Structure 1
Amino acid sequence: MGSLECLEEKYPIIDSEFRQFCASHNILSVEDFLMQDLYALNIVAEQRSNPEKLKLGITQILDVMNNQHQPWLNGQELLENALLNKQSLSVGCDRINALLQGGLRKGRLTELVGPSSSGKTQICFQAASYAATHGIANVMFIDTGNSFSPKRIAQFVNKMSNHVIDQESLRRIMNKIVCHSVYDILSLLDILHQLEINLKHQNDFQVMMLIVDSLSSLITPVLGADGAHGHALLVQVGFMLKKIAYEHNIAVLVTNHMVASEGGSLKPALGERWKSIPHVRLHLSRDSSNNTSWMSILGHPSVATGVAVEFEMMCS
């Protein structure tokens, strides 16, 4: 987004006085703004001589972030992008690959939503294992719930190889999966920012798949604590994930848990504002009594909503 100054022409409320207030808290850009505790910032604003103007400026920047979208592309640019990013990465299950017309598409953000114990993390392990086993670049796995299991990954790798592979080969495959443990949304933004820098400036740093398991566990606490701030962070994370996918031709997979709605039925935790952000939205469910799982389309550029497949979870 750049500096706050570049917003003044379109949003006069973000003037030199407002920017001076922000600068006194080391806020020089929209990104800096999102790293702040807005509750504390509003308290400080209340103590100034013009609190309403300052709070209006804070709200204006939140609105800018909420309305942020990727630039419009014309038909030729969309065609070129489709041809460039046509490669898909298998998730290690033929039926899921067929549902997704090849697997997880590079250049796209895919969301996997499902209730607790439906197998979302297992799908992430399976996709990461297959990519690391058959690809030449790295898989970055962002673990937000302390659920990453090297032992489980090794089981998937062995299963996909149809035999127990030697330790050297296993070590080589495991080294391709880079895991980061993240427990708050600001740390996630820091990691995504550093990933962008590495992808742009380190020629030997290659990533083919990025997994965030689970995105909702980081976002929902701030959605509940401060709606406006939380939704701005949600948009910012979504924008960064799509930007990384698009600019570096990476398949991005995030998981989203489900919560009870007012009527008692389950709904995706990230809410309505998130629905339009991912390129692909998938729903996962599971019958634990017989190891049967179902994956259905919630949103896809070329597959009808509601189309589903039944499969058995690997290594269950």
Structure 2
Amino acid sequence: MFLQKIKSRESGVVLYGITPPKADTTADRVAEIAHKTIERLSSLDIDALVVYDVQDESARTKEERPFPFLNALDPLVFASEFLGALNVPKIIYRPAGKFSPDELSDWLEQLHDQSFYPVFVGVPAPDFPVKTSLPEAYQIWRKHEATSAIGAVTIPERHKVLQDEDVRILDKMECGVSYFISQCVFDLEYARQVIEDLAQRCERQQVSPPTIIFTLTACGSEKTLQFMEWLGIHVPDALKDDFRKSEDILDKSVNVCLDIASALTSLCIERAIPFGFNIESVAIRKAEIEASVYMARQISEMLKEKGVRKPSAPELVRDQQ
């Protein structure tokens, strides 16, 4: 259904994003983590699971990283060898520039064999030696175009500075990209401006807009808030103050995310932009993981109530009984 929804530009897509376990995790522990992940997500109404490629971005900034970087398992290995029992499509991130064209071609074949879908991202730092450019990577993917969909990343913070995210999106559409997953959104106005400018540019150029999937994540602590900012996620000053004054920063952040989801839903419907949400769970604290599951359920229900997400088959059966 994910592929069909993307190709038909259907709104109301719901994804759930995770990172693989750390690279030094024992095989038994990886299997245990995978089992808990499958158990937790099997009851969720999601269209696909996003598995991120964890990169060391320390060279991108001079600011000290709030958490030490630890290598993670390859996302394709984790998804294919440990998450097969979770019966939803998998979306796998890959920094295309770190690999040669032959390596990327082989990797895409592995994805295609399992009906997984790629998202190509940039390299960890501007001076990183690039083996394959993004346009070259998209061209390698083209052989799978009829039976696949390829995604890319959109960054509202970049648009605030460079004012060209709408141009970047349409350029990548020319390369075959049909959906874009955003960086985590905590500044509604930044995301709103991307949508407004994209809608206007698509109207001027008489092209159908791609699907924009907004990433939302719960923030459970002051340290997590610092890490988000280190990653380049803009949190408005007033919201940071609210978080710091809150008796329960996690509960406050969940409510903020749900409000953002509702506002972006109304905006995208108004501007005729196909859209969805990616609820991200990259923390290890149980409370934050449970908060992400709650958000996924709430957002899925909100989209159904607004008429942009169809009920799943089991729900239709219940409604007819």
Tell me which interval the TM-score lies in, with the shorter structure as reference length: 0.3 to 0.5
Name the one with the larger strand percent.
1
Larger Rg: 1
TM-score (norm 2): 0.36
Name the one with the larger helix percent.
2
TM-score (norm 1): 0.36
